[in-house]
């Protein structure tokens, strides 16, 4: 069975992205669907199935495409949105930083920083190309372990080394853009004798300006412009030169080089490199050992080292020998091995605690019973999640979910309490018909298991916690639609008024189709609802009304209170009440209620948010129940 990956990037792929193209082509056990704003036909891929245009927002039926995992290249907003989609649909993902502008500037942007931290922390694996980039990620507050996988070069395409190179033949290979510092090389050649020449390979916005500079300082005859060449032709040309110049600089917007592949090829071909101590370059060049590092924008220093490499044979030979050894860690077979390990790790990822729970003897006993049911033998069941009352398995085709009591959490004499909860849930689903709850497929009358339709998506608790709701206004609209139908269904049931009682983010799943309630163990008839002790603290109590916490008589407004708290949290990222007081509950709630109102008025709300939403929240979260539904 083929392994299918959703691959996200802004541009797929730019002409200089040879390293990324090489990795994707050679991970040929995997098939890719590409999501990007632009497809640039610079490379051919046999293992790409589809190209999809993507810039922002949700992707219809994304969860139905059967992806094993997602891989996103970090480029700012596209990567953040990709991570939100993966997180929403419980798809494991890899995020990769390839240096340059991304790790030198973008990750420090206040508009991207928090999202970047969340993106990395939620990933299965995060990769960078150098230890320098790993340190930069750590500096913005990322605690997750970072995997370093160097930029690869394909050693098979390196031409036979030319032993008759002229050290006075200098070469620059780069895009002609400001950060590459090609003007510094041109200024340097003007300070050298007529026996030195400079070849420039590349295209870009700076071409005309650089041509004018060469004319102004009268070095046109010393420079050969070759424009864009394929990688193969570039290496052939490089092989005829004595020194590679790469005088890059930090651009005005903070953009800087990552680990340029051409430097690595030059080192492997035993051609010394003079570059700068900017960006990620110091991770691949050690000064006077594997190359020369100079200060940016310094043509005098560049000239000095060009002459020194020409005059100091020992230095020249020592640099090319040492660089040829250290660059071997970038050889493709080593890098592809690491990428295969990362992909395998992501394919096999799921929570170790869930795996341990799934192996509990009682859980396995019930699971075997389920598998022996005539209509379920063909399903491959995977441990998926666990909560206070049960462990969840889903079918491999993601059509059904199975809940088994959390036997591992209670002693044997308490197992009946767990089973009682599942029996109640089964009875609710059997008697309720709604578009926003999973369909009941089968259940055990003794509460050993319940089999339901699988609802794809991510619970609102996780989406809020990691700021992963793509469109808050859309989410709130879906939530209100769900609440309207469910409240009418439960509050006006033919058998009387039922309270959901535990309407909280962890029990609500968001996907393209809507918001779904997935847990029903706490639903009670309004006349059966009793509470022995006052409740206070965190967790689900934060969504309970003051009267519910106090054990006083409740009515349907308690569910509306919970709804208001959730919407408030979607908009602000926090709940309005701390619930850290045991006495004078209403008085303390009223104090925090006034603060909550001011918070709603002061925060920046989504521009497309319905203006009536704020007044609804203010009504629903009112601590005084008689005022909630006025």
Q: Does 539 score more than 60 pLDDT? A: no
What is the SS3 assignment for 361? helix
514, containing H or E segment: strand 514-517
Q: Does 80 score more than 70 pLDDT? A: yes
Predicted pLDDT of residue 536? 47
Predicted pLDDT of residue 377? 67
Which DSSP category does 331 fall into?
B
Predicted pLDDT of residue 602? 85
Q: How confident is the model at residue 529 (pLDDT cuts 50, 70, 90)?
A: low
Predicted pLDDT of residue 331? 84
Q: Does 368 score more than 90 pLDDT? A: no
Predicted pLDDT of residue 552? 82
Q: Does 358 score more than 60 pLDDT? A: yes
Residue pLDDT, tens place only, 442-459: 999 999 999 999 998 888
Predicted pLDDT of residue 159? 95
Predicted pLDDT of residue 563? 97
Chain-wide mean pLDDT for the chain? 89
> Could you tell me which of 31, 28, 26 has the C-alpha nearest to residue 5?
31
Q: Which residues pair with 386 in a beta bridge?
A: 391
For residue 567, give Cα distances in angstroms to 118, 227, 475, 504: 21, 57, 9, 10
The predicted model gives 362-376 an average pLDDT of 81
Predicted pLDDT of residue 213? 97
Predicted pLDDT of residue 87? 87
Q: How confident is the model at residue 97 (pLDDT cuts 50, 70, 90)?
A: very high
Q: Does 49 score more than 60 pLDDT? A: yes
Tokens at 298, concatenated: 């310094």
Predicted pLDDT of residue 469? 87
Predicted pLDDT of residue 408? 73
Query: Could you tell me what percent of the chain has a pLDDT over 90?
Result: 57
Predicted pLDDT of residue 136? 95
Q: Does 611 score more than 80 pLDDT? A: no
What DSSP string runs through 164-177?
T--TTEEEEES-SS
The predicted model gives 152-181 an average pLDDT of 94
Q: How confident is the model at residue 1 (pLDDT cuts 50, 70, 90)?
A: low
Region of poorest pLDDT, from 199-213, 253-267, 529-543: 529-543
> Could you tell me which of 321, 335, 292 has the C-alpha nearest to residue 153?
335
Domain annotation for the chain: domains and CATH numbers: 3-148 (3.40.50.2000), 155-328 (3.40.50.2000), 351-454 (3.30.200.20), 459-630 (1.10.510.10)
What is the SS3 assignment for 354? helix
The sign of the torsion formed by the CA atoms of 336, 337, 338, 339 equals positive
78, containing H or E segment: helix 77-88
Q: Does 601 score more than 90 pLDDT? A: no
> Could you tell me which of 441, 425, 435 has the C-alpha nearest to residue 379?
441
């Amino acid at each position: 069975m083929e392994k299918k990956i959703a691959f996200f990037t802004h541009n797929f792929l730019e002409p200089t992205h040879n390293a990324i193209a090489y990795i994707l082509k050679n991970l040929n056990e995997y098939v890719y669907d590409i999501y990007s704003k632009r497809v640039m036909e610079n490379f051919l891929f046999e293992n790409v199935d589809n190209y999809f245009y993507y810039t922002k927002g949700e992707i219809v039926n994304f969860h139905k495409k059967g992806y094993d995992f997602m891989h996103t290249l970090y480029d700012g907003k596209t990567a953040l949105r990709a991570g939100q989609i993966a997180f929403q649909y419980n798809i494991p993902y890899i995020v990769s930083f390839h240096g340059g502008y991304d790790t030198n500037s973008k990750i420090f942007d206040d508009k991207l920083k928090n999202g970047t931290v969340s993106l990395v922390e939620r990933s299965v694996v995060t990769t960078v190309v150098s230890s320098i980039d790993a340190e930069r990620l750590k500096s913005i507050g990322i605690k997750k372990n970072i995997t370093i996988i160097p930029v690869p070069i394909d050693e098979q395409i390196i031409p036979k080394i030319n032993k008759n190179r002229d050290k006075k033949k200098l070469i620059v290979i780069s895009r002609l853009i400001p950060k590459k510092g090609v003007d510094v090389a041109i200024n340097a050649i003007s300070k050298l004798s007529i026996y030195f020449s400079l070849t420039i390979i590349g295209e870009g916005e700076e071409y005309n300006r650089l041509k004018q500079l060469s004319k102004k300082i009268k070095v046109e005859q010393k420079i050969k412009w070759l424009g864009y060449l394929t990688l193969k032709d570039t290496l052939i040309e490089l092989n005829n030169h004595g020194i590679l110049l790469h005088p890059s600089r930090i651009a005005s917007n903070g953009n800087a080089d990552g680990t340029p592949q051409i430097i690595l090829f030059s080192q492997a071909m035993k051609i010394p490199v003079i570059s700068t101590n900017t960006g990620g370059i110091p991770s691949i060049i050690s000064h006077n050992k594997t190359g020369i590092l100079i200060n940016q924008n310094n043509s005098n220093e560049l000239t000095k080292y060009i002459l020194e490499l020409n005059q100091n044979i020992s230095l020249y030979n020592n640099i090319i020998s040492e660089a040829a050894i250290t660059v071997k860690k970038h050889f493709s077979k080593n890098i592809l091995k690491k990428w295969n390990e990362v992909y395998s790790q992501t394919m096999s990822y799921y929570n170790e605690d869930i795996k341990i729970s799934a192996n509990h003897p009682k859980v396995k006993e019930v699971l075997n019973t389920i598998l022996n049911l005539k209509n379920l033998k063909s399903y491959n069941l995977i441990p998926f999640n666990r909560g206070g009352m049960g462990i969840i398995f889903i079918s491999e085709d993601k059509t059904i979910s199975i809940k088994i009591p959390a036997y591992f959490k209670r002693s044997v004499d308490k197992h009946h309490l767990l089973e009682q909860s599942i029996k109640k849930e089964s009875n609710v689903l059997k008697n309720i018909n709604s578009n926003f709850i999973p369909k009941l497929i089968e259940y055990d009358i003794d509460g050993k298991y319940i089999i339901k339709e699988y609802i794809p998506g991510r619970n609102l608790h996780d989406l809020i916690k990691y700021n992963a709701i793509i469109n808050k206004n859309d989410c709130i609209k879906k939530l209100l639609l769900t609440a309207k139908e469910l409240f009418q269904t439960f509050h006006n049931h033919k058998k009387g008024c039922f309270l959901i009682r535990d309407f909280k983010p962890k029990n609500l799943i968001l996907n393209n189709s809507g918001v779904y309630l997935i847990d029903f163990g706490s639903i009670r008839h309004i006349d059966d609802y009793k509470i022995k002790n006052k409740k206070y603290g965190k967790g689900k109590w934060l969504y309970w009304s003051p009267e519910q916490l106090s054990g006083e008589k409740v009515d349907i407004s308690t569910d509306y209170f919970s709804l208001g708290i959730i919407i408030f949290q979607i908009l602000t990222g926090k709940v309005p009440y701390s619930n850290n007081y045991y006495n004078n509950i209403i008085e303390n709630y009223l104090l925090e209620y006034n603060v909550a109102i001011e918070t709603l008025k002061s925060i920046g709300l989504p521009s497309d948010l319905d203006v009536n939403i704020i007044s609804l929240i203010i009504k629903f979260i009112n601590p005084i129940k008689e005022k909630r539904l006025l």
